[in-house]
Amino acid sequence: YGERFGFLDRGHDISNLMANLQSSFAISSLTGMLLWLRPLVIFISTLQAASDWMFIPQCADRKISEYSQKTEKEPSGERPTPMIKRFLDALEDKSKGMTEHDITANAAANIGAGGDTAAIGLSAVVFYLYRSPEKLQRLREEIDTHNSEGNASFQELQKLPYLQAVIRESMRVHPGVGFPLFRVVPKGGALICGRFFPEGTNVGVNSWVIHRDQSIWGPDADEFIPERWMTTDAARLKVMEQYLVPFSVGSRTCIGKNISLFEINKLLPQLVRNYDIEIEQENDKDLRAKNMWFVRAYRFKAKINRGELTVGQ
């Protein structure tokens, strides 16, 4: 949108953005699964009571309007092109076939989904990693050896095997989306896992089910074990990579996948190098979470202290 929202600058939830987002997801996740609720939601969408549910598109419309007014007054400079400008350019280019509704929908997706996948991924990796001192130490040593200055590029970080194993494993035990991402069976039907499904049937599988399947991951499927990704068994690694689907697969893969992975790869080494984190949720093996489409951490309490810059210091 060409500017920061300002959460870090001000230190609080600006305009109750995050709270309203969660209320919106609570309603949207229900209507997405219980289709008979949709007529009721459409009816109440005109009422004040629906303000939370309508918050995301309203926020997107407001940001589009603010950006349009701002660019009319300011000359173009050397700043990077915001995504919102690309949306508006596509609207003006009639060959793109974009409508105002399409622009609002895409802008809303950036607000609603843009930060959650990375935030959920970081919450999960911090929870599991900092409760495993030996795994945390191993990661710190790898980062200290290959990234002692703390300025490694994304490409360099991708070559750190244990860092990548930790990120993969955290996304396996706690994928960000907790609902099946349905597909529609094409004309002629389809045979899936030995069962025939007629055309038009909605079929899907929850990534939480896939990621805890012992036939794929072994009897320790419920455990956080990054070392499983360090295997030299190429055939086993190929199977695990095939069934690791935190962002879904195919034509409906999350379009923000690469941005989310980039953010996690850049942020996690800085957290590990610079902060000691004490997780207060000691009695639960898994991270407490609420599933409202995104499976967000719930009552995740931790004490954060600035630590040493390197393992050797």
Binding residues for heme: 254
Whole-number Å distance between alpha carbons of 307 and 272 = 9
CA gyration radius, the chain: 22
Annotated binding-site members: 254
Q: Please, are residues 196 and 189 in contact by the beta-carbon 8 Å criterion?
A: yes
Sign of CA dihedral 36, 37, 40, 41: negative
